[in-house]
Amino acid sequence: MVKALPAIEDHLYEQMAGKIHRLIERGTLRPGDRVPSVRKLSQQHDVSIATVLQAYMLLEDRGLIEARPQSGYYVRPRFRELLAEPAKSEPAATACCVDVSNLAMRILHTFADPSIVRLGAGVASPELLPSEKLHHLLASVARRSGAIANRYEQPAGTVEFRRQIARRSLDWGCALSADDIVGTIGCMEAITLSLRAVAKPGDAIAVESPTYFGVLQIIEASGMKAVEVGTYPRHGMCLDELAVAIRRRKIAAVVLTPNFQNPLGALMPDEKKKALVEALSKKDIPLIEDDIYGDLQHEGPRPKVAKAFDKKGLVLLCGSVSKTLAPGFRVGWCAPGRFKERVELLKFANTVSSPILPQLAIAEFLQNGGYDHHLRKIRKSYAQQVRLMYEAIGKYFPEGTKVTQPKGGFLLWVELPKRVDVLQLFDKATEQKVSFGPGPLFSPKPNYRNFLRISCGYPFKPQIEHAVMTLGRLAGKN
């Protein structure tokens, strides 16, 4: 349902917005239709361009229209009018060894071919990132730092970087200090160090199902076992099923992504995060929280982290700027709580310390306010790209396809009809220069033989649409 208009439209721009709203409500303008250009509406109604722009901004805030770069404004698709959503996953809650690395490497090798359209790569488009500003900052920091930057840093990382991360923790519902933070080489190292700090080979680790294949690779490389827990596409891991898993066996740790989970895009509500932390606290079970997508809500306030409800230091919060700012800088962090000393020791044994210059450049970018301005732009871009991809899947994929409806991040989890084997589909698609994330990659079993992950990290251009059309056609033949 669209939101109701205010009873009284006192301002001219509100009156203009009301006229467009009614056209959408009556079906005159349908999802995907282009609304009149700013200049045309200004001329038709003899109002200023500024008035029309303000009206369109109001309609954007109401979720009714969206701006497409160099194209104009369009009626925003409404998810529920398009496709059904996958149901909660139902994995067998048994501890099992993980074997996803071979499949992961096979898929990652396709990325080396520049002619392949990578629909499954969970990366941000370079054109959405402030690379030039960061490069200038990096050069400036290098000149000012001189020989100081060409030394071994302490394992925890530079204090300037850790201080900026601690400042941002207020937005997450935390009150961390620089001393609570350990800098890492990306979020993957943060999760690896955290997992090794709280568990040992042979231990059972509870994970969402499906879950990010990188987490599964870490568990596999560490000689541990995974216990899959049923997960809702809207609000994350099922806490009742987690409680059953904990009663049945010893769980050394839980690894999950409460905010815009990969690949589902699920957002765990705050009350559920609190209940999760409290339940694990009673059993003294550590929670390794991956918050790499936490800054990428499509609208509204930034969601809290589970760490915000941690009273015993059992939550090890991990993050990085790889999805928001600078994947190539490989700058991440961990707030390990009571395990900080152990994580620092492992950090030293693993890489001694993180490179100084990238941390200093990111710290300066965070400090000068550039990050918040950038986030406002990239959130809007991701939200638009997700909507356009969703609409294309509904248009080109076979009947019976189901898709998640995330409120943040840039990933979609797609359920195809059961007859489709996505590993066979992957081979056929790569022959047509299209790749994606096949479902078995996101489960240790492997499960999800008719599921796939689609990334919306790149602007939705004709090349992307053609790749989606090709993939949908191949899926329909399968």
Do residues 76 and 215 lie in contact, with contact meaning Cβ atoms separated by under 8 Å? Answer: no
Q: Between 18 and 210, where is the model more confident?
A: 210
Decide which of 434 and 113 is more confident. Answer: 434
The C-alpha atoms of residue 309 and residue 337 are separated, in whole angstroms, by 12
Residue 220 tokens, joined: 């596999």
What secondary structure letter does DSSP report for 311? S
Per-residue pLDDT, 363? 96
All structural domains of the chain: 12-76 (1.10.10.10), 82-88+99-127+373-477 (3.90.1150.10), 130-371 (3.40.640.10)
User: 25-39, 149-163, 233-247: which range is least confident on average?
Assistant: 25-39
Across the strands, what pairs with 413?
453
Give the CA radius of gyration of the chain.
Answer: 23
Report the pLDDT value the prediction gives residue 106, as an integer from 0 to 100. 87
Is pLDDT at 58 greater than 90 in this prediction? Answer: no
Other residues' Cβ atoms within 10 Å of the Cβ of residue 89: 25
The span from the CA of 420 to the CA of 416, in Å, is: 6
Predicted structure pTM score = 0.84
Which residue, chain included where needed, has tokens 């994580």? 343
pLDDT for the residue 327: 95
**Span 129-171, pLDDT tens digits:** 999 999 999 999 999 988 777 888 899 999 999 999 999 999 9
Q: Using the predicted structure, report yes or no on whether residue 68 has a pLDDT greater than 90.
A: no
Tell whether the model's pLDDT for residue 78 goes beyond 80: no
Q: What is the DSSP letter of 90?
A: -
The tens digit of pLDDT for each residue in 102-111 reads 999 988 888 7
Mean pLDDT, range 14-28, rounded to an integer: 86
DSSP state letter for 453: E
In degrees and rounded to multiples of 5, residue 412 shows phi and psi of -125, 135
| 3, pLDDT greater than 60 | no
**3-state SS, residue 406:** coil
Place of tokens 């601690």: 166
The whole-number pLDDT of residue 416 equals: 98
pLDDT value at position 89?
Answer: 95
pLDDT of residue 82: 67
pLDDT in tens, 391-416: 899 999 999 999 999 999 999 999 99
Query: For residue 461, is pLDDT > 70?
Result: yes
Specify the amino acid at residue 221: A
Per-residue confidence (pLDDT) for residue 285, from 0 to 100: 98
- Does 83 or 452 have the greater pLDDT score? 452
Of all residues in the chain, the percent with pLDDT exceeding 70 is 96
Measured CA to CA, the distance from residue 48 to residue 38 in angstroms comes to 9
81: left (phi over 0), alpha (psi -120 to 50) or beta: alpha
Residue-wise DSSP of 12-44: HHHHHHHHHHHHHHTTSS-TTPBPPPHHHHHHH
Rounded Cα gap, residues 427 and 47, in angstroms? 55
Q: How far apart are CA 70 and CA 60, in angstroms?
A: 17
Of 137, 110, 112, the residue nearest 325 (C-alpha): 137
Report yes or no: 242 and 206 within 8 Å, Cβ to Cβ: yes
| Cβ(305)–Cβ(274) below 8 Å | no
pLDDT, residue 147, reads 79
User: 13-22, 236-245, 326-335: which has the minimum mean pLDDT?
Assistant: 13-22
Closest CA to 209 of 457, 455, 439: 439
If one compares 52 and 188, the residue with the highest pLDDT of the two is 188
Residue 6, pLDDT > 60, answer no
Letter string b/e over residues 27-54, b meaning 16 or more CB atoms within 10 A of that residue's CB: eebebeeebbebeebbeeeebeeebbbb
The reported pLDDT for the residue numbered 10 is 47
Confidence check: pLDDT of 174 > 50: yes
Q: What are phi and psi of 138, to 5 degrees?
A: -60, -45
Helix or strand holding residue 246 (H, E): helix 239-248
Instruction: Report the chain's mean pLDDT, rounded to a whole number.
Output: 92
Backbone angles phi, psi at 217, to 5 degrees: -65, -40
Of 50-59, 85-94, 227-236, the range with the lowest mean pLDDT is 50-59
Q: Binning pLDDT at 50, 70 and 90, where does residue 205 land?
A: very high
326-384 pLDDT, tens digit per residue, is 999 999 999 999 999 999 999 999 999 999 999 999 999 999 888 999 999 999 999 98
- For 107, the enclosing helix (H) or strand (E) is helix 101-110
Q: Tell me the CA distances in angstroms from 362 to 127, 131, 136, one per residue in order.
A: 18, 11, 11
Helical residues (DSSP H) of 169-235, grouped into ranges: 186-198, 213-221
Range in 138-152, 247-261, 274-288 with the lowest mean pLDDT:
138-152
Say what the pLDDT of residue 8 is. 31
